[in-house]
Each structure stands twice: as structure tokens, then as C-alpha cells.
Chain A
Amino acid sequence: MDRMNQMRSKAVSVKRHNAFLLVNYSPPKYLTVRMSHNSARAPTARTEVLSDGLTLVVVSGDWTIQDTLPRISFKGDKVKVQAEALGAFDSSLPAWLYVHLKNVRQCDLSALPPRLQSLVEMAEKATLSSDRPDPPGFFENFGSWGVESTHSWGRAFDHIGQTAVGFARACIGRARVNWSDFTLQLQTAGVDALPIVALLGFLTGLIMAYVGLIQLRQLGASVYVANLVSLAMTREMGALMTGVIACGRMSTSFASQLGSMNVSQETDALRSLGINPVEYLAVPRILAVTLMVPLLAIFATFVGIFGGMIVACAGDLSIEQYLTQAIVAIKFKSFLVGFIKSIAFGFIAAWAGCYRGSVAQRSALGVGDAATSAAVLGITLIVIADALFAVIFNLYDF
């Protein structure tokens, strides 16, 4: 202690001569406690039940957050805590006492050092406000899930409705639409996607031709590989592949963009300005993708047919044979089927992204979830829509 006093008096003398402002150095209280103990002792705790039913909890040793703390258990709701040869302590001791005593009805801390007493009481005082509710049980969780699912469907239909109204208002020129977004998205969804659409379309045609050629050769009908590839690409694969690519590229992108805007309250700002976020943000995006996906699907169809031609001509067919068969196979009706499908797939991909983005939770995790669920929702809806189209076109012999 003498050394401490010396240090303090030196600090006062320094203050007089120093250009800086310096007051008496008083070390932190818990550091003062540490200084008086050279070697740390393990934290210990024991309990005793006294004759009047009072449980005595005695703590001793040095308590630091680096140490493994002792475990005690006791019954009864009258507890007195006492310190015995208590050394240095940091927040681990008040935390330990707080957790062990928070459910005790009558707790006497008066025998503890005042600083420790105040650290425990600070937490207890702040906790007294209310009892924590019990965690929800299985049925409550199941019920909450059911209600949330219903709400989720409700929000989805509401968003579809708002999108439809937004398009209608845009058609009569009454919607507030961000047209600069529209031109930007035309480029992002269209021109920027050409390389990946070309690659995947080419490989799809190539794979179909390869598999088809092996089977058809056994029947001596290799020439029909051209029909197989061109018909499949035109009616089905061109639109489907492009729809899936749009989900991977645009749905996730829209969900992230709109989700982030949700987090930074930009969508709230739009609402406060009297602008409908669906009209302003979703309509231009959905329109751009719905216009671009059919064009990309036509491109993918031709690239796929070209891919098939490479394999077919490397095998049994000449270029003339392949092209003649392909032109015969592709009817305008088949071409129209693929085109109609691709419009629907483009709409679905863009809508899924905008919808999931607009209902994203306001957190980094929420934005990530929105992007993932947008891709999943988009692809699922595209496959379902494809199946429905197959049934409808079959019914009407299209």
C-alpha cells in the first residue's frame, strides 16, 4: 500500500509540471484487488444448510473469466452468500452468483464486499421488470407454422395482385415506374446472359443428340436425331433452360436488391413518398425479364439445334440431311409453344425474385434467405408451370 501511496503522490507532483492534464491515478478497483495477490487460487464454492433452513453459500479463491467455475446445487428459497478468503474477481463471480440466485426468493448478500454486492444487484434490479414467458411447445410451434404459412400465401397473392394492378396502371400511363431500372435490367437480363445461355443451350443440344443417336442407330433411324433435338429444343428445353438460368441470375439478384432496400428502409421511404414499391421497383424488373427471356429462349433453341448438328454430323448424318429433317420437324405451332412458355417462365423468375425480396427479413441473414428462396421458388414454379402447359397443350392438341 505504501508503494501505491508513493505512486499517487508522484502523480500529483507530475500534474503540476506537466503540460498535459493529469489527475490522481487511481487504478481500477478490480486491478487493486489483483495486486494484493501474487498467486491465483482456484475459485471454490460450498453450501451449508443451517438449522433455521437458511442455505449458506460460501465463495472463495480467485475468480476470473478464464477459469472453469465450481458447480453447486441447493434447495430452499432462503440463501445467504458469504465470502471467505476471496481474492481477485472479475465479472465471472457476479455472473455466477446472478445465475445461481436469480430464482431464489430471499437472498442476503450483505456479507459480500460492497462492490460485488452492487454488481449482482445491478443485474437483479434490471431483471425484476417481468417474468420471461415459457418457451413455446410442439403444438404452439406447429400452430405458429400453420398461421405463418397461411400469411405467406396471402402475401404472395397480394404481391401478384399488386403486380397485375401495377402493369395495368403502367399500360394506361398512371403508374410511377422507375424506367431507368427497366433499361438497366434489359441489359442485365438480356445481353449479359448471352454467353451462359449459349453455352448451356449448346451443351443441352449436344447431349440430347448424343443420347438420341446411340438409341436411334440401333433401329437404323439415325436421321431422326435431327427431329428429336430440334423438336425438344423448340417446344421444351430452350424455354426451360432459359427460365432456370433466369432464376439463377435474376431472381437471386432481385431478391438481394429488394431485400437490401428493405433492410435500409428504402422501400419504407418510397411508401412515405406515396410511391408504391411494387410499381416502382418490381414492375420494371418483371417487364424487362419477361421481354428478354423469350428472346434468349429463341437464341438457346437455335444454339441447341446447332449443338445437336455437331454430334449428328460427326456420326452418321450430313449437314444437309440434319437441316432438312430439322426444318421439317419444327412447325410454327411448336415454335409458338416454346415462345408462350418462355414468356411465362420469364415472368415467374422475375416475380419470384421481387416477391421474396419485398418480404425479406431486415437482416443480413434475411437477405441471404430471400435470395435462396427466390431461386428455389422460381425453379419450382417454372417446373409446375411446365407440367401444366404440357397438360393444357395436350388437351387442345397444340
Chain B
Amino acid sequence: MNDVAPILLCEDLVVGHAGQPVMSDINIRLPAGKIIAIVGPSGCGKSTLMRVLGGLDEPMSGRSELLGTDLVHATALERESVLRRSGFLFQGSALFSSLTLRENVELPLREFLPIPPQEIAQLAEYKLALVGLADAMDKLPSEISGGMAKRAGIARALALDPAVMFLDEPSAGLDPVTSGKLDELILKIKESFGTTIILVSHEVPSILRVADFCVYLDSDTGRMGAYAPPKDFLSPEAHAKAHAFFTLARIS
């Protein structure tokens, strides 16, 4: 066994939908403060895997640990405690549509912190300023663009200073400039807060910019294809399908 406990560990993990396995043989050991990207063709189970790794869904079999807690055997309270130390950005941002951006960020702060309202407002204002939304704090999610909604989602995920963040397709549907800015933000969060980040993405340039490691899910075999730093996938000696995926995506 290793002396250094990884922040995320899974061994022989099998994930699936409605009793049907989608992806198996997943083995990941991720140190703290790193960014890992989960890539693969559409429908291969990337988001499903992310949900299992984050403790939102249960695996079909295998071992999955996050922040030192065994998520398979964890009690509801332990699972809740892990979720509280994690931040999620969902594919559609999942902002509460009836709340302003400020109220969206304040919600977890109000629920979990025993501090006065003005300090909660202060923290929310800062988190929104960090992602460049200081001028849009009092807008409703329906009044902002897709890129702004992603950033607001990140601000809400950052609200409680999570040790680990899960980002589901953060740059999907964004133009290259906005996507680049979002990559910068992700890197800054990692560097400044020391947050471990697990992201699901299709965007190879973005993965090459931000990720320290990359998991390639092979939809043909239904198994994890490769786990390596993303630059390794560019060399021809790498896992053939992962290399093809990276090369094709890069050209396109």
C-alpha cells in the first residue's frame, strides 16, 4: 500500500445505467491538487463515471474513494460530508432559475456556515468577482449567456472552498476565446486554492492546456483505455484509440 493517500482512488470500478454496465475496469489514483480529464466518445459513460466518482451515484461494483472516504460503504452522513467538501458544475450549469446569481452562490454558504449575512454576501460577491461576474450578480440565470452561466456555476461550486471540484463539460458550446478564459480560470483555481479538479471534456486543446492526467474511456470495449498525462496521447506509441481521438480532435 502507498503511504501517501490519494484524494481520489478507484479500483476495478464498474459504472452503469439501470443495471447495465457502461464502463468497467476503471483504475485511477489521483494525488491532491491535480487536474484530471475524463475523455472519450459521446455516450461512453464519462458523465456517469464523474457522478460515481463524486458520490452522486453508486457504482455497480469495485472500490471508489474520495477524500479518504470509501463511497461504496459510506453511511449517508459520511457521503454528505464528502459532498459538502466537493463542488459540482453540471453540464447545463444547473443554476436555480428563480434565484439571482448572488443568491445561487449564497445558498450553500447560508446552509452550512454559521456566519453573519454580511459575511455571506461578502464571500458570494468575491466568488462571483473571481469568475468575472461582479457586474451581473443581481441577474437571474435566464438573463445571462451560456458562458456566464458556466462561470456562475463554477462560482457556486467554489462557494465552500471545496477540496475537489467536478466539472462536466465546462467549455462545451463556448467560443474559443471564452473557452480559453475558462481554462485560465480553472488553472487559477487549482494554483491558488490547491483544488483537485476532475473534468469531463471533449475539447482536446482545452485538455492539453489544463489537465495533468487524462483518462480515456474506450466505448468499443467498455473499459478504461488509458490513464496518462494528456501529452502522452499525442505520441504514436500511446493507446491507439486514445491517440486517434486526440489527433483527430486536434485537427478538427
Chain A residues within 8 Å of B, Cβ to Cβ: 7, 10-11, 14, 18-32, 65-69, 90-92, 94-96, 98-99, 115, 118-119, 122-124, 126-127, 129-130, 132, 361-366
Contacts and interface: CB of A to CB of B under 8 A. Distances in A.
A69 B119 contact: yes
A91 B123 contact: yes
Interface string B109-123: 100011110010011
A31 B31 CA distance: 14
A122 B125 CA distance: 13
14 contacts: A11-B2, A23-B34, A28-B194, A65-B160, A69-B115, A99-B125, A99-B126, A118-B188, A119-B192, A126-B130, A126-B131, A127-B132, A364-B97, A366-B142
B175 interface: no
A126 B29 contact: no
Given A18-B29, A27-B33, A28-B32, A68 B119 contact: yes
B193 A23 contact: no
B158 interface: yes
B97 A363 contact: yes
A266 to B, nearest CB: 16
B74 interface: no
B2 A65 contact: no
A364 B98 contact: yes
A67 B33 contact: no
Given A21-B29, A364-B97, 11 more contacts: A11-B4, A20-B29, A95-B127, A98-B129, A123-B129, A123-B130, A123-B134, A127-B134, A129-B132, A129-B135, A364-B98
B171 interface: no
Interface of B: 2-4, 6, 27-29, 31-34, 96-98, 109, 113-116, 119, 122-123, 125-127, 129-135, 140-142, 158, 160-161, 163, 188, 191-196, 212-213, 227-228
A68 B4 CA distance: 34
B185 to A, nearest CB: 9
A22 B31 contact: yes
A242 B192 CA distance: 64
Given A10-B3, A26-B31, A26-B33, A65 B161 contact: yes
A95 to B, nearest CB: 3
A17 to B, nearest CB: 10
B135 A132 contact: yes
Contacts of A94: 126
A48 B161 CA distance: 31
A14 B2 contact: yes
A363 B161 contact: no
Q: Which 9 A-B pairs have the closest CB atoms?
A: A28-B194, A365-B98, A363-B97, A95-B126, A126-B132, A123-B129, A20-B29, A127-B134, A25-B4
A278 B154 CA distance: 38
